[in-house]
Amino acid sequence: MSSGQTMVEKILAAKAGKDKVVPGELVNIRVDLALGNDITAPVAIKVFEKFNLERVFDPEMIVLVPDHFTPNKDIASAGQVKLLRDFARKYNIPHYFEVGRMGVEHALLPEQGLIRPGMVIIGADSHTCTYGAIGAFATGVGSTDLAVAMAVGEAWFKVPSTLRFEYEGRLQEWVSGKDLILYTIGKIGVEGARYRAMEFAGPVIDSLSMDGRLTMANMAIEAGGKCGYMQPDQITFDYLKNRVNKDYTPVYSDSDAIYEKVYTYDVSDLEPQIAFPPSPDNVKPVSKAAGVKLDQVVIGSCTNGRIEDLRVAAEVIKGKRVHPSVRLLVIPATQLIYRQALEEGLLSAFIDAEAAVSTPTCGPCLGGHMGILAAGEKALATTNRNFVGRMGHPESEVYLSGPAVAAASAVAGEIVHPKEVM
C-alpha cells in the first residue's frame, strides 16, 4: 500500500517533530511566522496582554501590517493602528510595516523575502494561504490563535487531506491565474475544498508566473481550502533569489502521495472568467457577462495588485479613456510595486485614462474605504470576494475578474472581453 506523503503532510510532520502525519491527526506545530493586520492584531494583542508575559516568544517571527483601514480612515482605525505600533515598540518587533513602507500584507511578505519554502506561516487573515505559492504551509487563523503563537511559538492543527488539481493545455491570450482559480472554484464550489489542502500542478502551473501562482493560492480559501500550494521549482527559486537571505530546504510531495481526489482540467479553450454576485463560485465565461453595466472598477488587492497585473491592465487601457459612467480605482499592492509601476509608465497610462491611483491599501476590497458602493451600484473588481455587501451597500453588486477584463470593462462601461477594446 502507498505510504507517500504530500508536501503539506511533510511540512507539518517536520514542524511537529514527527516522522509522519496522517490526515485527521491533531498536531502541535512550531510556527515560523505569525502575521496580524490592523483589524485582527489588536484583538490578539489584547489577549496576549492578559498572559502577563515580559516578552513575546520571538520578535523576529511576528509580522504586523496595518493595511485594511490605512492610511487611517477615521479615529477608530487610527486607534487600531496605534495598538500595533505601540506593541511593536514595546516588544522590539522589527517586522512592523508603517504607512509609506507597508503594502497589502499578502503581497508585501513574499516581496520582502519573509516567505521561504518549507515554512509554517499562520496569519489572522483568511488569505494567508497566498504563501503556499512559494511552497510553504500557510493558513489563516483566529486572533486568539495568533496571540498564543506570539506567546509560545506554536499552533495546533488537524492535518488536512489533499486535493490535487492538474491543469493541462495552454492558456489563451488574456487568460491568467485568476481565471484558473475562478474556474476551479466555479467547478467545485465554495465548500468544495473545505479544510483540504489544494495542490495545484500540471504543465499550465509549471509555466505560470509567480504572480499568477500567488493569485491562485490566495483564493484557495474561497473554495474552503485550508491552504493552497504549488511545489517549488525554478520559477520559485528565481523569485526568491534576490529576496531571501536565509537558507531553506524545498519540500515536495512524493510520487506515491495519497490524495483524497485528483481533478484534471484541460484549459486550452478557457475564456476569461467572471464570478457573478453573490458568491465566488457563481462563475461564468466573460462571453456570458455581456451587457452588465458598471459603476466602478477596482484593480488591486492581495489577489491582483502585483506588477504583472498592473502591466496587463495598462496594456489594455493605454491610449484609451475610462467610460464616463465608470470610476476606475487602481491600487498597487506595495510601495515597491507602486514605484515600479511609476518607473515603467504604467501609472501615467492609468492617470491619462482618468483612473484614480491610490497608495497601497486593502480599502475597497472589504468595503473599508476608498471606494464604497452605494445602493444599486455594480462594481467589477480584481479582488477575491463578492458576497452581499462586501464592497458597501447590501443592495450593491460585485463581480470578480482578472486585470485584463477589469481594464477593458472600465473602458467599455460594461463587462467585456479585452479583445473588444484592443
- Of the CA atoms within 13 Å of residue 128, those in its CB half-sphere come to 26
pLDDT in tens, 248-295: 999 999 999 999 999 999 999 999 999 999 999 999 999 999 999 999
pLDDT in tens, 97-127: 999 999 999 999 999 999 999 999 999 999 9
pLDDT in tens, 310-357: 999 999 999 999 999 999 999 999 999 999 999 999 999 999 999 999
Alpha carbon distance 241, 133 (integer Å): 15
Share of the chain above pLDDT 90, in %: 99
Q: Where in 109-161 does DSSP place strands (E)?
A: 120-123, 137-140, 154-158
Phi, psi of 421 (to 5 degrees): -115, -10
Q: Domain spanning 7-264: which superfamily?
A: Aconitase, domain 3 (3.30.499.10)
Strand (E) or helix (H) holding 62: strand 62-65
pLDDT in tens, 205-249: 999 999 999 999 999 999 999 999 999 999 999 999 999 999 999
User: Do residues 164 and 197 make contact, with C-beta atoms less than 8 angstroms apart?
Assistant: no
- pLDDT tier at 1, thresholds 50, 70, 90: low
3-state secondary structure at position 200: strand
Residue 392 has pLDDT above 70, yes or no: yes
What is the chain's mean pLDDT, rounded?
97
Alpha carbon distance 233, 239 (integer Å): 10
Residue 2 has pLDDT above 80, yes or no: no
Q: Give the contacts of 57 (CB within 8 A, at least 6 positions apart).
A: 149, 150, 151, 152, 153
- pLDDT tier at 405, thresholds 50, 70, 90: very high
Q: What is the pLDDT of residue 3?
A: 82
Same fold, 7-264 and 273-420: yes
- The CA-based angle 218-35-79, given to 5 degrees, is 115
Distances (CA, A) of 47 to 43, 146, 148: 6, 9, 8
Distances (CA, A) of 311 to 137, 208, 212, 350: 29, 16, 13, 11
pLDDT in tens, 3-60: 899 999 999 999 999 999 999 999 999 999 999 999 999 999 999 999 999 999 999 9
pLDDT in tens, 122-169: 999 999 999 999 999 999 999 999 999 999 999 999 999 999 999 999
Q: What is the pLDDT of residue 103?
A: 98
Show me where the domains of the chain are located: 7-264, 273-420
User: Do residues 14 and 21 make contact, with C-beta atoms less than 8 angstroms apart?
Assistant: no
**Averaged pLDDT for residues 62-82:** 97
Give domain 273-420's CATH number out of 3.30.70.20, 3.40.50.880, 3.30.499.10, 3.90.1300.10.
3.30.499.10
Alpha carbon distance 134, 12 (integer Å): 16
